[in-house]
């Protein structure tokens, strides 16, 4: 199974929880055991797994990433979005989640996030189930 999710991000920098959408795709696939890959084909948008119980974690991650990689810092890239490219590389372009009994094996507090660093934009995320 390979499916695409269309995600509309709302700000220049935002983390969008896509855990439920990915879980629904895995359930609809019908595979009991395997591996789910969630991939972003964008160079200014990453994918990560982190806590989804407390929204302050997202806020803190965005804040600290902005401290480490400021928006303006004398970058040479003429498009003006070098910070977004750097942050996307730090987050990574994909995650892999084991699937057992048709369910994502995420930890109790874990969620899957699209990490937008150059928005708002419409992003296309690929979800592949290997069984």
The pTM of the full predicted model, rounded to 2 decimals, is: 0.96
Q: Where do the structural domains in the chain lie, given as residue ranges?
A: 2-130
> Would you say 113 and 18 are in contact if contact means Cβ atoms under 8 Å apart?
yes
Please, which pLDDT band fits residue 95 given cuts at 50, 70 and 90? very high
At residue 44 the predicted structure's pLDDT band, cuts being 50, 70 and 90, is: very high
Domain 2-130 has CATH 2.60.120.460: yes
Q: How far apart are CA 126 and CA 85, in angstroms?
A: 19
What does the pLDDT read at residue 68? Answer: 97
Q: Cα(127)–Cα(131) distance, rounded to whole angstroms?
A: 13
Please state, rounded to an integer, the average pLDDT across all residues of the chain: 97
User: Residue 88: its pLDDT value, please?
Assistant: 98
How confident is the model over 51-64, as a mean pLDDT? 96
């Amino acid at each position: 199974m390979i499916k695409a999710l269309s995600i509309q991000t709302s700000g220049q920098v935002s983390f969008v929880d896509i855990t439920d959408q990915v879980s629904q795709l895995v359930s609809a696939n019908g595979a009991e055991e395997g591996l789910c890959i969630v991939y972003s084909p964008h160079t200014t948008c990453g994918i990560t797994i982190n806590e989804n119980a407390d929204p302050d974690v997202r806020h803190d991650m965005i804040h600290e990433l902005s401290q480490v990689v400021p928006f303006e810092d004398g970058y040479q890239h003429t498009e003006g979005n070098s910070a977004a490219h750097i942050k996307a590389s730090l987050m990574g372009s994909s995650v892999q989640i084991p699937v057992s009994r048709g369910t994502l094996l995420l930890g109790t507090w874990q969620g899957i996030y699209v990490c937008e660093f150059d928005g708002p934009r419409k992003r296309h995320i690929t979800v592949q189930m290997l069984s």
